[in-house]
Homo-oligomer: A and B are copies of this chain.
Amino acid sequence: MTDQTIAKWDFFEATFTGPSGGNPFLDVQIEAIFQQNSRTVRVPGFYDGDGRYAVRFMPDNEGEWHFTTKSSAAELDGQTGSFNAVAPGASNHGPVHVRNTYHFGYADGSPYLPFGTTSYAWTHQPLELQAQTLATLKQTRFNKMRMGVFPKDYPFNVNEPLFDMYQRDDEGELDFDRPNPEAFRHFEQQVGALRDLGIEADIIIFHPYDRWGYSEMSEEQDYRYVQYLTARLAPFRNVWWSLANEYDFLLNTKPMTQWDRFFQIIEENDPYRHLKSIHNGDVNANYDHRKPWVSHVCIQNWDVKRTQEWRETYGKPVINDEPEYEGNIMLSWGNISAQELVHRYWITLLRGGYAGHGETFMHPDDILWWAKGGVLHGEAWKRIGFLRDLLEEDVATGLTPLARVGNWPWSRVSGASDGETIYIYLGEHQPVIWAPGLPLEPGDYEVDVIDTWNMTIEPAKVVDAPANHPTRHGAVVRQRRPDAAFAVELPGRPYLAIRCRLRR
């Protein structure tokens, strides 16, 4: 029997004192087997510095769990302990996994629609700025954060990080055989802070924007880093693994087989099977997301009308986490208008994918949200929150794009449904009357017109669908109007959507 209790999907940590001489990061192996009845789960441990070793475990079932350690060091081997996993709190839904092929859900069964933002190096900024970032996030509806483990060197990112992720040797050089536990503890603290805000941490393991040498570690060092990171972070329920940002810009030092191996190392060390993805730089350099270790498609592509193509190509959920950022910097991926980003969100979502947010507005102190956090300066985030709230009213399974309506593919207008609820996004189109995609059968529907920019929802004026005008040519008669039970009158301006749902 044990006194210690841990909520399901929180994590239990056991610590031990062991060898501190030599290089424990290289020399000492430790893991633990956690057991509930006849079920066992292997969990890697890690060295936390100063002779301190730890194993962490996130229980996915309530009840008593026991563990026994295995270690190459005698004093760490055969240690045992136990804890009691209790019911999770109301805000603890467990980790997110893929559900319904193209969508996500929490382990407790509640839906999860990713509405993420990006702040690559926010955990490397001064603590005050990090606190401000968290305070800002609390005001938004974002529920995912893309963030790197390593600091960033890039335009607008020239400051030194708060912590080195590896220890420095006597000459002041980074020793890529000795992780810096203090830095990892800080990183974990912020992952935990996100968790407490209901935000998934999409952790970017490698990236190319580097002047310190993190992108040039040896293959062996890379593998050890991935293993170390997994041992420490996998027990956080809100962790997602993003193998890289723009992995293709690192192919000159890390060939494709190495990327595959990173995925495998995570699978060997993450018993919770957190979501795993990898993000491209060049639009023509998508990783082969069909590989079995990839849980979902991460993509960088401004051409959001291709969302269905990516769904079909890879057969997995699609998150376009860089459909370009709202901002005004010189770099083209970072200067679209708020209206354009909101437009791309609606197109992406209503073609069955998910989109990501970022902000890159010039700032006198180079504090751009996309890399450093701080406060939001733009206009898109509110509309993205509005979209999330709107969809969460009804979406349970996940949106499925409307394949065809009438005579033409949905290449111009976007539309999707979830169960009996239909959404149509007209975007740059401004009809004064619309029917394609609306239900074929008459029924008791509630139909609304949504102004995606002004964030209003108003009952639509429903009218008879216009009479069909077939046009004969040769042997073929083409229907010139799509069939629908009714039509909707619209005010004839762009950026509107229609929602149609069965009255309950």
Residues of A within 8 A of B (CB): 153-155, 158, 208-211, 215-216, 249-250, 252-254, 283, 302-303, 305, 324, 328-333, 335-337, 339-340, 362, 408, 411-413, 426, 428-436, 466, 469, 471-476, 478, 480-481, 487, 492-494
Contacts and interface: CB of A to CB of B under 8 A. Distances in A.
Contacts of A329: 431-433
Contacts of A436: 330, 332
Given A210-B472, A436-B330, A471-B210, A428 B253 contact: no
Contacts of A209: 471, 473
A492 B472 CA distance: 50
A283 B429 contact: no
Contacts of A211: 471-472
Given A432-B328, A481-B330, A155 B469 contact: yes
Contact of A408 (B155, B208, B332): B332
Contact of A328 (B283, B305, B328, B492): B492
Given A208-B474, A332-B408, A337-B428, 11 more contacts: A153-B471, A209-B471, A211-B472, A216-B474, A249-B476, A250-B474, A324-B412, A329-B433, A332-B429, A335-B429, A339-B494
A247 to B, nearest CB: 11
Contacts of A339: 494
A411 B283 contact: yes
B435 A481 contact: no
A136 to B, nearest CB: 22
Contacts of A408: 332
A473 B245 CA distance: 12
Copies of this chain, tallied across the complex: 2
A475 B412 contact: no
A492 B329 CA distance: 9
Given A283-B411, A333-B412, A471-B208, A430 B250 contact: no
Nearest to A153: B471
Q: Which 5 A-B pairs have the closest CB atoms?
A: A253-B474, A208-B473, A332-B412, A340-B428, A335-B431
A303 B428 CA distance: 13
Contacts of A154: 469, 471, 480
A430 B210 CA distance: 28
6 contacts: A153-B471, A154-B480, A328-B430, A330-B433, A332-B413, A335-B430
A305 B476 CA distance: 33
Nearest to A493: B337
A101 B331 CA distance: 32
A283 to B, nearest CB: 7
B332 A435 contact: no
B336 A254 contact: no
A431 B337 contact: no
Contact of A430 (B252, B303, B336, B475): B336
Contacts of A250: 473-474
Contact of A429 (B249, B336, B472, B476): B336
Given A330-B435, A429-B332, A302 B473 contact: no
B475 A252 contact: yes
Contacts of A249: 473, 476, 478
A478 B426 CA distance: 39
A481 B329 CA distance: 11
Contacts of A254: 474
Contacts of A480: 154-155, 331
A336 B210 CA distance: 44
Contacts of A215: 472-474
A164 to B, nearest CB: 17
Contacts of A208: 471, 473-474, 478
A480 B211 CA distance: 14
A302 B474 contact: no
A428 to B, nearest CB: 4
A474 B408 CA distance: 48
A305 B305 CA distance: 12
